[in-house]
Amino acid sequence: MPYLNSLRNRFIITLSIMLVLVMSILVFILHQLMIPNLISEERQSAHVYANALQMSIDHHARTLSDMAHEWASWASTRDFMENHLPDFPQTHITSAVFDEHGADLMLITNAHDGVTWVAGRNPVTGAFTSCATPTGECQWALDQVRQIQRQLPETDTTARMGVSPAFGLLSTWPIAHRASTLSSGKLTLVRFLPGQWQLDPADTASTLTLSAVRQDMTAGNNAPVVAIDSISDDSLRLTLLRDSATPGYQVMMTTRLDRDGLRDGIQRFNLTMLGALALLLVLMVIMLWVFRAMVLRPITELSRYASALRQSPGEHLDAPPPWLQARGDELGIMAREFQTLIQELNERNAHLKALTNRDALTGLGNRRLLDRQLPRILSLTHRLERPVALIMIDVDHFKLYNDFYGHPEGDQCLKTIAETLGDIFQRESDLVARIGGEEFVIVLPDFDLDRAMDIARGVCTAMEAQCLPHEPSPTHRYVTISAGVAISSPEHPLSGEALIKQADEALYQIKKSSRNAVGCAAPS
């Protein structure tokens, strides 16, 4: 086919086939790999979240059980059950005690499970009542007391969930008899649960909707504990089933989970596909232009030159045409373009080399520069019989700063510190570097320990004078720093690694004992 004889046309066809192939691969990856993996990760995250909810519920249950055990173990409780302490309810079962421990109902029964005392807070009126029987002021607790009496375990002290007449956590512990190993009664604590139970007030996603369901007795121990259902493209429903103290019933807890991970993953991949398509189209245009400029035109000119040579086989050409000598032909243009590209590449390499020695955020030197320059500074300075000081700085409570203000503000704080250090240390011989997240190092040739300590204190003062707010800091309302100082002297020279280690140990000690202060390493 004449159309395919053209090198340019074949190149265009090849690029088009590659474009279609790449897009087909991306679509295949999306539907066959990306989406299934995202769904799998979503399910795993939901199970992890379910486990966290179960652990939180178990924690609440253990807390209630420990509280009931503590009350049942009191000597005063045993004395009350044995009629040795008749004023026990008035002195120990009070509204303040219930408020302190977060309990809503207490039931004390005798050895025959009869009611000895009942106390709690009326869930309707909020009034605290304490009675010998669930009558009168304690009439509100009658249904709950009857339900508890029907469910009193013989030996199990594990906190359970009740569903009737109200949702709640309850734990029962025996009250040991003082004179024997027999139980003189039982003490049951109840904490009522709302139908919308929010485990953690700071986490609105932890709100569980409680409901009572009939237990599937045919399922045995194989009944599902955790179920994850897709409600819509935006939501999942997480269902937890737990056994209850009410025979024949289970507590079903449901919560809604957003499918942000799946949605964001697909959206990111779609944007990636669109970006890849746009990039490929741009690359196709660029490649066509480059192919024409760097391949087709030089080859065409060379073909014309060769054809001219063939048309005059008997003639002797002393030199190529003037445009070739003057490098005005396509080959000359290509050579100059290559030279330009090489020059630009060298400049970029030099720029990249400089970047490898600089911290991208602050513009200060980085750990690579410090490791390379510190041994040289030590060697040159010690030859002149002068000491070298190294100051290691750490921002106090920077993690709290990041958590409170956010990482962008944290980055700005580090930039401000870097600018402050740059304003203070302007000697060409000084080296200021950022070696970690909030750690900086200053190398000062010809500085002894006293001068280094003074300058370190000055840096702390200068940083505090910046008045950068730091509300969560337990040290100061403004951002402060701590510094560790180490010295390498000609009499006791240290390697760069040892000098850094001494300064780091000094910084550790000062941070351990206090903050916003300066410490020095012990002399060698």
**Which residue numbers are catalytic?**
438
365 in Cβ contact with 359 (< 8 Å): yes
DSSP letter at 403 equals H
Collapse the DSSP code of 208 into the 3-class scheme (helix H, G, I; strand E, B; otherwise coil) and give the result. strand
Spatial CB neighbours of 416, under 8 Å, sequence gap ≥ 6: 466, 468
For residue 240, what is the enclosing H or E element? strand 235-243
Short-list 496, 485, 516, CA closest to 395: 516
> Could you give the CA distance from residue 413 to residue 470 in angstroms, rounded to a whole number?
10
Distance CA(364)–CA(357), nearest Å, equals 9
Residue 450 C-alpha from the chain's centroid: 42
- HEC readout, 255-311: EEEECHHHHHHHHHHHHHHHHHHHHHHHHHHHHHHHHHHHHHHHHHHHHHHHHHHHH
292-301 burial, b for 16+ CB within 10 Å, e for fewer?
eeeebebeeb
Partners of residue 375 on adjacent β-strands: none
